[in-house]
Structures are given as structure tokens and as C-alpha cells.
Amino acid sequence: MSDKLGDIIKNTLEAIESGKEEIFFIAETTRNETLRLTNELSQLKSDISDTICLVDAQEKVDRQKRMRLMAVNSSYQQYTQKEMIEAYAEAKDAQVSLQLLQSREAELRKRRNELERSLNQMQETIDRAQNLMTQVSMAISLLQGEIEGALNSHSHEQRQELGLRIIKAQEEERRRVAREIHDGPAQTLANIVLRLEIAEKLMEYNPSHVKAELIDLKNLVRANLQDIRRIIFDLRPLALNDQGLSAAISKYLDNFSNTYGITCEFKVAGHEKRLLPGMEAALFRLIQEGITNVAKHAHSAKVNILLNFQDDWTSVRIQDYGIGFEVDSAMQTPGEHFGLIGMRERVEMFYGRLSIQSSFGKGTIIKFLIPSRGERGDKL
């Protein structure tokens, strides 16, 4: 039975890896096409603006020529036949030129609308590809992860529950990383590409401004590298493996404070001990999510974190002094409060307990407890 299961896992991995490469190719192709269309749309908007100016100018010419023709027609005795023919020809030419410009403007606007629709559709394709990549990576990690021993030593029901818990944890983590990358480095890199194109054009028309543009770009790249390093650290905090939970949290809070300008007071109570790797990672992510919510929503200048080690359980208390919110309403609208819902689900996966107290204008206190041996927590 074990050999058969191994063959199934191996074949499944090969199929998933092949599909992952295809999804990646689709996503990258779509991103490149999106960038091309974005540049085309930018140029198109500039062409539309220029054409509108030409249309406005031609409308004035058209009015002048039509008024000239009307004057010639009303006083034709004062003009020669040649002058009358010329007035008519000029009015006709002006009208034709105006119609051509108006037709060009309409075509450019139509093309602009088509490009905007195409970009929206491509963004949807990219989003779907990213979701698929998340699911595929999650499946690969699940199949390649160190869970075979657990699967061999548990009942079918226990294996199913374990698998579901692993999947939920991995999916939550990948969604967080995807949001971080999309809102940070991905947006910055797209901006860098556009700024480089501007610098390229400045080389031709205004070389004196290129140096200033390159200096701005250098600062932008440095900031982007800092964001990428932060995401890498958040994804795999090395101090968590090497130095333990409190050291990893302390290092992360230093970086958090420098990034957001929020004072972080971190205290450790009880006798610190090494926990299971999965439990340490869960506690780290829970604290990370909790103070990220403070930065995004609380508008608090300070946050206090207490990590408490006891024999049978480990608890955390996060307190801010911000604007507060309605807890019941927030927990019932997961689409708007994904962070809190994710914290609750992560705590429940370890049979822990989560409590949130918040008042408008008085701040928020988040407390969670995870039993060290898997018992259900009852100490909140």
C-alpha cells in the first residue's frame, strides 16, 4: 500500500510540475503583453490629446471658411468666378480635413477603449494564474513535505484532518506573500520600466535631465530591494531557526518599527523554551499579522507585545492605542478583514484560543494561546 501511494504521489508531482510550468509561461506572457499594451495605451492617450487639439483648431478653420463662403455667396456680384470657386474649394477642403480628424479621433478613442478592456481582462488572467500558481505550489509543497511519516502513523480521519490543516496554513501564507509582492515590488518594478523608457527618450531630446532621472531610479531600485529583502525575511525568518522565537520576533519588530515609524515594546514572560518548528512558525506569523493590522488600520504610534511561555501553553498579547473597531462586525466580514480571520483560523489549527477586545478611540487588545501539547486552550 505504501509503495502504491508513493507511485501515486510521484506521478501526481510530475503532472503538477508540468502544469506549473505552463501556468508560469501563461502568466509571464500575459505580463509582457500587459506591459506592451500599457505603453501603447499611454502613447494612444497622448495621440488622442494631440488629435483633440488638431480637431479644435480645424473647427475654427472650418468655421472661418464656411463664413467666407457664405459671404461670397451673399455678395457674389463683388467677386470673380475664380474667387468664388476658390472660396468653395477652401470650405470643402476644410470640411473634409475636419471630418478626417474627427474620424481619427473616434478611431483612437475606440482603440483606447479596446486596450483598456484588454488590460482589464489580462489583469484578470494574471490574477487567476497567480491563484493557480499558489494552489499548485501548495500541492507540490504538500506532496513533497515531510508528512509521509505522519501519514503512515495516523488513521484515515487523522490524516485527512492533518492534510486539511496543512493546506489551510500553506494557502494563507501564500496569499499573504502574493499580496506583499503584488502591492510592493511588482508595482515598483513596473514603474521602474516606465521610468527607464522615459530616460531613454530623454537621451534623445533632453540629455541634461537624464542624470536626475537616473538618480531617482537608483533610489527607487534601492527601496525595492529593501522591500524584497523584507519579504524574504518575513517568508523565512532565519533567526527563528538559529536563535529561537523571541530573537526572531525582536529582530522583526526592529525592522517593522523602522519601516512604519511605530514604537514596539516587546517583553518575554516565563521561561523561554524551544517549541516545535511548526508552532514557533505559527506564533511568529500570528504576531506578524497582528502588528501588520496595527500598521494598516489602527493609526497607533505604539504597540506592546507580550510573549508568555508556560509549561503547557504559550500565549501572546498585542495591544495598540489606535482608533479601534467593532469586533463582531469585523469577524463577520472576512472579505474586508482577512487578517483577523486568518489569525483565528491559524490559532484554531493548533487547538488554541483567540480573543479580541476593541473600543473606538481606545485601541485594541489581541490575545491568543496555543497549547504546547495540542490540548484545547482554556486560559484566555
Q: Considering Cα of 174, then 175, then 176, then 178, what sign does the dihedral take?
A: positive
Q: Exposed e or buried b for every residue in 293-314, given b needs 16+ CB within 10 A?
A: bbbebbebebbbbebbbeeebb
Give the homologous superfamily in CATH for domain 239-371.
Answer: Histidine kinase-like ATPase, C-terminal domain (3.30.565.10)
Q: CA–CA distance from 172 to each of 13, 146, 177, 199, 370 (Å)?
A: 22, 19, 9, 40, 18
**pLDDT at 378 (0 to 100):** 45
- For residue 29, the model assigns a pLDDT of 79
> What pLDDT, in 10s, does the model give residues 37-54?
888 888 888 888 899 999
Class of domain 2-145: mainly alpha
Per-residue model confidence as pLDDT tens digits over 258-268: 888 999 999 99
Residues 180-229: tens digit of each pLDDT = 676 667 777 777 777 787 777 778 777 777 777 788 878 878 777 766 76
Q: Taking the CA of residue 3 as centre, how many other CA atoms within 13 Å lie in the half-sphere pointing to its CB?
A: 0
- What is the rounded average pLDDT of the residues 126-140? 67
pLDDT of residue 309: 94
Position 150 pLDDT exceeds 50? no
- pLDDT top residue among 18 and 273: 273
Structural domain boundaries of the chain?
A: 2-145, 239-371
For the stretch 84-91, contacts whose Cβ atoms lie closer than 8 Å and that sit 24 or more positions apart, written own/partner, are: 90/65, 91/62, 91/65, 91/66
- pLDDT(151) > 90: no
Query: How far is CA 308 from each of CA 67, 351, 368, 370, rounded to the nearest angstrom?
Result: 88, 17, 10, 11
Could you report the per-residue pLDDT of 15-29, keeping only the tens digit for each? Answer: 666 676 677 777 777
pLDDT at residue 10 in the model: 62
pLDDT at position 167 is 58
Contacts of 131 (CB under 8 A, 6+ apart): none
Most confident residue range from 51-65, 132-146, 230-244, 326-340: 51-65
8-12, 52-56, 67-71, 181-185, range with the lowest pLDDT: 8-12
198 neighbors 213 (Cβ within 8 angstroms): yes
pLDDT at 65 over 50: yes
Per-residue pLDDT for 177 more than 80?
A: no
In angstroms, how far is CA 92 from the centroid of its own chain? Answer: 55
- pLDDT bracket for residue 373 (50, 70, 90): low
Residue scoring higher pLDDT (200 or 233): 200
Residue-wise pLDDT for 103-130, tens only, equals 988 998 888 888 888 888 888 887 777 6
